[in-house]
């Protein structure tokens, strides 16, 4: 039986607090995103953190100073969905943590927009949708492709899930189509 999503999410948040991750990122307005806060994570899921960093070079240097001694440490600079980004990975206990920084407010980053859309879809679809998405994740899909695949959304799943501003009716229609297809 799967743990309650809220209790697992709370456990991971406490673990990050014990390891000083929240404190180290506080001035960058960190938000945990991805599968864990949605309750669709698997045993292999990493912790996804979104942050706003106006100076990516300085942010990368701070990450290196703070976490370079941790197992699995890596630091990558790249363009992501039209904007520069720094991605820092390291382990916290046995779980990987990925900190994704862009010079955009977190609420404008696609990862946050996906989080809001997926959360709203889960409200409309309930536990049945949560279990279907988790099953797709266990089959190896990342969160956005799992949602898009389960719900039958066509095209690039990272674009298809930019539904954070969709009406409640539009989201209910997407979920209703999925529910009809599984009956």
Q: How far is CA 74 from CA 38, 63, 66, 96, in A?
A: 26, 9, 12, 11
Mean pLDDT over 107-115 rounds to 95
Residue 5 confidence (pLDDT)? 58
* Segments making up each domain of the chain, as ranges: 5-104, 112-182
Mean pLDDT over 19-24 rounds to 95
Task: Say how far apart CA 2 and CA 50 lie, in whole Å.
Answer: 26
| Nearest C-alpha neighbor of 38 from the set 153, 136, 141, 121 | 121
Predicted confidence (pLDDT) at residue 1 exceeds the cutoff of 60? no
User: What is the fold, at CATH topology level, of the domain defined by 5-104?
Assistant: Beta Polymerase; domain 2 (3.30.460)
Task: Say how far apart CA 74 and CA 76 lie, in whole Å.
Answer: 7
Q: Report the predicted TM-score, pTM, of the whole model to 2 decimal places.
A: 0.92
pLDDT class of 113 with cuts at 50, 70, 90: very high
pLDDT tens-digit series, residues 42-62: 988 999 999 999 999 999 999
Predicted confidence (pLDDT) at residue 100 exceeds the cutoff of 50? yes
Residue 56 confidence (pLDDT)? 97
Residue 183 confidence (pLDDT)? 79
């Amino acid at each position: 039986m799967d743990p309650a999503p809220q209790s697992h999410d709370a456990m991971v948040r406490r673990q990050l607090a014990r390891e000083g991750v929240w404190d180290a990122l506080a001035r960058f307005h960190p938000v945990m995103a991805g599968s864990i806060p949605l309750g669709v994570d698997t045993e292999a899921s990493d912790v996804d953190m979104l942050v706003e960093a106006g100076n990516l070079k300085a942010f990368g240097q701070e990450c290196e100073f703070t976490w370079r001694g941790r197992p699995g440490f890596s630091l990558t600079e790249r363009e992501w969905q039209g904007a520069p980004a720094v991605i820092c990975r390291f382990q916290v206990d046995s779980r990987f943590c990925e900190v994704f920084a862009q010079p955009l407010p977190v609420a404008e980053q696609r990862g946050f927009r996906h989080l809001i859309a997926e959360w709203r879809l889960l409200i409309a679809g309930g536990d049945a949708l949560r279990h279907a998405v988790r099953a797709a994740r266990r089959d190896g899909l990342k969160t956005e492709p799992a949602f898009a695949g389960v719900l039958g959304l066509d095209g690039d799943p990272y674009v298809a899930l930019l539904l954070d501003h969709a009406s409640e009716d539009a989201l209910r229609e997407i979920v209703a189509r999925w529910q009809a297809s599984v009956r």
